[in-house]
């Protein structure tokens, strides 16, 4: 996703020549994911929701890439060491805070479908696969995939509008989990 973000930004710059590409080379101020996300939002290339999700994805990615243990800052760090997984409360909170599924209407569609089934069948218990609302890893993976696709597809559509999530009208919820 990081390389797609770089390509997306470069494609929207007025002059995307080799000189412009040097801005993103190793050792530059905007070589990494965080500063690129900030730049893309600051110049209006991405919406606030997309910016928030990119930052959460970066935080989650960094935890998995750079730490085996999640250490809370307490007096005795040995007591606070917890293996980095999606079950860790902080990582779970970050993943469940991702805005993409809600922004494109998946959370609402699932709730509507469940309510309709409960009305039709009063004894209905939702025993379906974990939804994107409940499953941090699934929500993270879905958002990463959606963002990577959006960045890729919009590299050559510089219409002046920030890249943003669009509500979906036809999504098969069963295929997402």
pLDDT of residue 26: 86
pLDDT of residue 12: 85
pTM of the model: 0.74
What does the alpha-carbon distance between residue 99 and residue 50 come to, in Å, rounded to a whole number? 8
pLDDT tens, N- to C-terminus, the chain (177 residues): 888 998 898 888 877 667 777 788 888 888 899 999 999 999 999 999 999 999 999 999 998 888 766 655 555 555 566 678 898 888 999 999 999 888 877 666 556 666 676 677 777 665 555 565 678 998 899 899 989 999 988 877 766 778 888 776 444 445 444
Where do the domains of the chain lie, and which CATH numbers do they carry? 2-159 (1.20.120)
Angle at 144 between CA 14 and CA 128, to 5 degrees: 150
What does the alpha-carbon distance between residue 95 and residue 97 come to, in Å, rounded to a whole number? 5
Query: Within 13 Å, how many C-alpha atoms sit on residue 114's CB side?
Result: 15
The stretches of 23-96 forming alpha helices (DSSP H) are 33-42, 48-66, 89-96
pLDDT of residue 169: 46
């Amino acid at each position: 996703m990081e390389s797609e973000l770089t390509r997306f930004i470069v494609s929207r710059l007025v002059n995307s020549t080799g000189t412009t590409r040097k801005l993103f080379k190793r050792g530059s101020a905007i070589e990494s994911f965080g500063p690129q996300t900030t730049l893309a939002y600051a110049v209006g290339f991405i919406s606030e929701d997309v910016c928030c999700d990119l930052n959460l994805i970066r935080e989650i990615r960094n935890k998995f890439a750079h730490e085996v243990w999640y250490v809370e800052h307490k007096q005795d760090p040995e007591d606070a060491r917890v293996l980095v997984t999606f079950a860790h409360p902080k990582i779970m909170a970050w993943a469940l805070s991702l805005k993409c599924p809600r922004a494109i209407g998946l959370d609402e569609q699932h709730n509507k479908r469940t309510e309709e089934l409960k009305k039709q069948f009063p004894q209905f218990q939702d025993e379906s696969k974990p939804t994107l609302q409940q499953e941090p890893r699934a929500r993270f993976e879905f958002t990463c995939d959606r963002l990577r696709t959006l960045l890729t597809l919009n590299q050559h559509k510089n219409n002046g509008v920030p890249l943003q999530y669009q509500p979906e009208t036809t999504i098969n919820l069963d295929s997402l989990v």
